[in-house]
Structure 1
Amino acid sequence: MRTHTKHVLMCVGPRCTEDGVAAQAMFALVGEKIDARPHLAIKRTRTHCMVACRAGAPVLVVYPEGVWYRCPDEAALERIVSEHLEGGREVGELIFHRLGEGDIDSLEAEHG
Structure 2
Amino acid sequence: MDESYYKYHLFFCVNTRSDGGPCCGDSSAPQLRDYAKQRIGELGDAIPGNVRVNTAGCMNRCAEGPVLVIYPEAVWYRYQNRADIDEIITEHLCNGRPVSRLRI
Structure 2 CA distance for partners of 1:94 and 1:54, relative to 1, 3 Å: farther
TM-score by length of 2: 0.79
Higher relative contact order (Cα pairs below 8 Å, separated by 6+ residues): 2
Task: Give the distance between the partners of 1:54 and 1:63, measured in 2 at CA.
Answer: 21
Partner of 2:35: 29
Q: CA deviation at 1:53?
A: 2.6
Partner of 2:75: 67
Q: CA deviation at 1:27?
A: 0.8
Gaps of 5+ in 2: 17-22
1:30-109 maps to which residues of 2 (within 5 A)?
30-39=36-45, 40=47, 41-55=50-64, 57-96=65-104
The DSSP-based 3-state class of the residue aligned with 1:29 is helix
Give 4+ residue runs of structure 1 displaced > 2 Å after superposition: none
TM-score by length of 1: 0.74
Answer whether contact 1:13 1:24 (CA < 8 A) is retained.
no
Provide, for residues 41-82 of structure 1, a one-character-per-residue CA deviation record: whole Å limited to 9, x for no partner. 101111122120344x31111111110000111111000001
For this pair of structures, how many residues does the alignment match? 91
Structure 2 CA distance for partners of 1:35 and 1:54, relative to 1, 3 Å: farther
Cα RMSD of the aligned pairs, angstroms, is 1.5
- Percent identity between matched residues is 32
